[in-house]
């Protein structure tokens, strides 16, 4: 189904493509679209200002006045969540783009750049990949600090090696194909071959890999924020919201459950979507 | 992982296996060395150093210079790296700046706790993951398989703090069964220790089991497509017999690899879980080291984690080599 639907999507029938997904894929797509929309429009939809103290009651239960209750300072949880999603989704999207883009570019270079470049890059990436990603991120945060641009960089650098490894194995395989060798033989430059002959044939799997990296980065950044090493106050992403309300845990406050569930719905949704889109071809 | 090309039957099976194992060991050591260079380089990139950090902004330049000399920070970076590496090899990775104790002592106090947590989680999650993975592979594309697939797919993407939060709400707030803080007391008996570790282990297991089960399923299914399996079926063997007597011995390599990769995930997952349950393990120590910019401690912790990861991968490779009958029997 997906195979037949992929060209449809390209010729401008995204609805037909969405309809062809299995139920879990539709659910995933809906969740991902929801969070993209929240990230884009969130602050405009928020009923209260992010930092406004709106209730004398802390950790209030969800009710008509505050749909998701209030937090440890009596602020509106829904408003904070709608604004926090922008950091979680935006940072992760940018970092995943940077990681996948850099990984792919380096992989293409390695594939067409000759043996020494390939050896050197692959050795470096193999080394970086043997450092567990959260540990690597912690070392980077300790060295660079955790302002927003640096967090973006940390998340991207952490996931470049994985992206490189996947892209390189595809690029090296494609480089051996007859049509690429023909292009080389007719005198095309290496960069042209990488861009015009190899890259277009890797797009599908690269997109699936990009989705996975996005999920990993959302989890990594929320984890860092949860530890107090990520997005710093007064800014708050969804992970920071969980952290700042941790004292509400014994009473089961919605202020801690809502942002944690929000992150889970985003990552689980993205995972279901990726599985539905790429799983068919694999199995 | 193990290259199949150089596995063609040699003369002495044991010798071939030994040579491959030694080769892996050597490669592991080289990687460890490179990793140490990366960790050292990244963590000493910043201009401000430990001496400045310890004395604060108001310190006189002379005081900073004196302390810098005492720490050996005035030496060029390659020399400091070699000295640090030598210290690591000798079991003395320097002094913690915040605790003002040898890093080795600080780590030695935390390491047993981390190993206990990791060991218990492995003991719970490995059998469970094998069960789920093999079951869903045997019933491939059945309703059970699809249900398990969606469940594990969702569980893989759950943030640990959500699982931990839900566990605390269920077991210590609502049911009042388990303590919400995982304290390990020195004189506590096994029963008490297990009770206080129940929730951290549960939380870690959720993600690890899901990952392991997915990879186990994939490994078994890859074998089920092989001609020898069809042969066994045509002989009239039942599905259980086919899986346990024929498929599993051949799938040991990939399965152990899956186990090692998932268990290495424990290293990262422990960071969140130890923090949320206040568990005095190595991961929370490392988080504190990041927060207080205690570089010697941070570097040592990072090396312990990387070493553990490489050991797991190495162990998986070795098991894969030993389990491969084409090498073992030569």
| CATH class of this structure's domain A49-282 | mainly alpha
CA distance B271 to B269: 5
Average pLDDT, chain B: 81
CA distance A263 to A204: 26
Mean of pLDDT values over B32-51: 78
Mean of pLDDT values over A117-145: 86
| Chain B hits for A271, Cβ within 8 Å | 153-154, 156-157
Distance from CA of B12 to the nearest CA of A (A): 32
Mean of pLDDT values over A233-255: 86
More confident residue, B295 or A88: A88
Q: Which two tokens stand for residue B107?
A: 């780590």
Q: Which of B286, B274, B287, B284 is nearest to B181 (CA)?
A: B274
Contact status of B268 with chain A (Cβ, < 8 Å): yes
| Neighbouring-strand partners of residue A75 | A53
Count Cβ neighbours within 10 Å for each residue of B236-253 and write b for 16 or more, e otherwise.
Answer: eeeeeebbeebbbebbbb
Q: Spell out the residues 6+ positions from residue A182 whose beta carbon is closer than 8 angstroms to its own.
A: none
In a domain, B6, yes or no: no
The answer to which of A49-53, A74-78, A243-247, B269-273 has the lowest mean pLDDT is A49-53
Per-residue pLDDT at B11? 52
pLDDT band for position B49 (50/70/90)? low
Contact B291, A229 (CB under 8 A): yes
Flag whether pLDDT at B127 surpasses 90. yes
Distance from CA of A185 to the nearest CA of B (A): 30
Residue A183 DSSP SS3: helix
The answer to which of A248-257, B68-77, B289-298 has the lowest mean pLDDT is B68-77
- % chain A with pLDDT above 70: 94
pLDDT in tens, B73-97: 777 778 888 888 888 888 888 888 7
The CATH code of the domain that includes B187 is 1.10.3720.10
Mean of pLDDT values over A131-156: 86
Q: Do B157 and A252 touch (CB under 8 A)?
A: no
Contact status of B279 with chain A (Cβ, < 8 Å): no
Contact status of B33 with chain A (Cβ, < 8 Å): no
Comparing CB atoms, the residue among A128, A133, A268 nearest residue B38 is A128
Flag whether pLDDT at A4 surpasses 60. no
- % chain B with pLDDT above 70: 86
CA distance B128 to B201: 13
What is the ipTM for the molecules in this complex?
Answer: 0.81
In a domain, B229, yes or no: yes
Q: How many CB atoms lie within 10 A of CB B172?
A: 17
Domain range annotation of chain A: 49-282
In a domain, B1, yes or no: no
Number of domains in chain B: 1
Flag whether pLDDT at B70 surpasses 80. no
Contact A80, A235 (CB under 8 A): no
Domain range for residue B302?
109-324
pLDDT band for position A5 (50/70/90)? very low
pLDDT in tens, B262-313: 887 787 778 888 888 888 888 888 888 888 878 888 889 989 988 888 888 8
Per-residue pLDDT at A270? 92
Contact B165, A260 (CB under 8 A): yes
More confident residue, A100 or B278: A100
Contact A236, A84 (CB under 8 A): yes
The answer to which of A26-35, B127-136, B189-198 has the lowest mean pLDDT is B189-198
Residue A72 DSSP SS3: coil
Q: Which two tokens stand for residue A122?
A: 């692959």
In a domain, B32, yes or no: no
Q: Which of B250, B255, B259, B257 is nearest to B226 (CA)?
A: B250
Across the A:B interface, residue pairs with CB atoms under 8 Å apart total 135
CA distance A110 to A125: 11
Question: Which segment, A29-38, A130-139, B245-254, B280-289, is predicted with the most confidence on average?
Answer: A29-38
The answer to which of A67-76, A115-124, A224-233, A273-282 has the lowest mean pLDDT is A273-282
Mean of pLDDT values over B316-324: 80
CA distance B270 to B123: 16
pLDDT band for position A88 (50/70/90)? very high
CA distance A34 to B158: 18
Flag whether pLDDT at B31 surpasses 50. yes
Q: What is the rounded end-to-end Cα distance, in angstroms, of chain A?
A: 13
Per-residue pLDDT at B266? 80
This prediction's pTM: 0.85
pLDDT in tens, B232-258: 888 888 888 888 888 888 888 888 888
Contact A232, A146 (CB under 8 A): yes
Distance from CA of A217 to the nearest CA of B (A): 11
Per-residue pLDDT at B85? 87
């Amino acid at each position: 189904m997906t195979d037949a639907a992929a060209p449809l999507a390209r010729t401008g029938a995204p609805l037909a493509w969405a309809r062809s997904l299995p139920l879990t894929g539709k659910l995933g797509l809906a969740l991902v679209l929801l969070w993209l929309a929240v990230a884009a429009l969130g602050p405009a939809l928020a009923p209260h200002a992010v930092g406004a103290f709106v209730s004398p009651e802390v950790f209030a239960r969800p009710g008509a006045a505050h749909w998701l209750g209030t937090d440890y300072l009596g602020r509106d949880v829904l408003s904070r969540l709608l604004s926090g999603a922008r950091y979680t989704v935006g940072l992760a999207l940018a970092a995943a783009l940077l990681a996948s883009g850099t990984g792919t570019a380096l992989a293409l270079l390695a594939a067409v750049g000759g043996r020494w470049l390939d050896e050197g890059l692959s050795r470096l990436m193999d080394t970086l990949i043997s450092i567990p990603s959260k540990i690597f991120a912690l070392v980077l945060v300790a060295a660079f600090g955790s302002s927003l641009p640096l967090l973006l960089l940390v998340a991207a650098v952490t996931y470049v090696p994985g992206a490189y490894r996947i892209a390189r194995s595809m690029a090296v395989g494609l480089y051996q194909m007859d049509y690429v060798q023909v292009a080389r033989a007719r005198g095309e430059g290496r960069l042209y071959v990488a861009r015009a002959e190899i890259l277009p044939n890797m797009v599908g799997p690269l997109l699936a890999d990009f989705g996975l990296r996005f999920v990993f980065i959302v989890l990594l950044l929320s984890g860092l924020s949860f530890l107090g090493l990520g997005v710093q106050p007064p800014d708050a992403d969804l992970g920071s919201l969980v952290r700042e309300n941790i004292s509400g845990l014994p009473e089961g406050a919605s202020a801690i459950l809502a942002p944690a569930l929000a992150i889970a719905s985003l990552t689980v949704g993205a995972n279901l979507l990726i599985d539905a889109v790429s799983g068919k071809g694999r199995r | 992982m193990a290259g199949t090309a150089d596995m063609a039957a040699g003369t002495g099976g044991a010798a071939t296996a030994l040579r491959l194992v030694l080769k892996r060991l050597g490669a592991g050591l080289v990687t460890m060395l490179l990793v140490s260079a990366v960790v050292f380089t990244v963590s000493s990139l910043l201009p401000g150093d430990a001496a400045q950090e310890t004395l604060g902004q108001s310190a006189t330049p002379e005081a900073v210079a004196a302390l810098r000399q005492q720490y050996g920070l005035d030496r060029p970076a390659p020399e400091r790296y070699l000295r640090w590496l030598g210290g690591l090899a000798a079991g003395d990775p320097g002094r913690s700046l915040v605790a003002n104790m040898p890093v080795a002592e600080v780590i030695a106090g935390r390491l047993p706790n981390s190993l206990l947590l990791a060991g218990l989680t492995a003991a719970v999650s490995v059998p469970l993951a094998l069960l789920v993975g093999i079951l869903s592979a045997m019933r491939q594309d059945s309703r059970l398989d699809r249900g398990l697939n969606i469940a594990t797919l969702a569980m893989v993407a759950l943030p640990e703090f959500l699982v931990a939060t839900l566990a605390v709400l269920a077991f210590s707030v609502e049911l009042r069964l388990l303590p919400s803080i995982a304290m390990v007391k020195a004189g506590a008996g096994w029963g008490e220790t297990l009770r206080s570790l129940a929730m951290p282990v549960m939380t870690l297991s959720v993600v690890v089991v899901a990952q392991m089960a997915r990879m186990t399923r994939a490994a078994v299914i890859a074998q089920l497509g092989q001609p020898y399996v069809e042969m066994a079926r045509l002989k009239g063997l039942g599905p259980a017999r086919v899986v346990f007597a024929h498929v599993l011995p051949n799938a040991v390599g990939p399965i152990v690899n899956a186990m090692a990769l998932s268990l290495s995930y424990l290293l990262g997952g422990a960071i969140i879980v130890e923090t949320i349950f206040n568990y005095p393990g190595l991961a929370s120590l490392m988080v504190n080291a990041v927060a207080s910019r205690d570089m010697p401690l941070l570097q040592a912790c990072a090396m312990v984690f990387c070493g553990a990861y490489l050991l797991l991968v190495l162990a998986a490779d070795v098991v894969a080599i030993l389990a491969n009958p084409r090498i073992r029997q030569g």
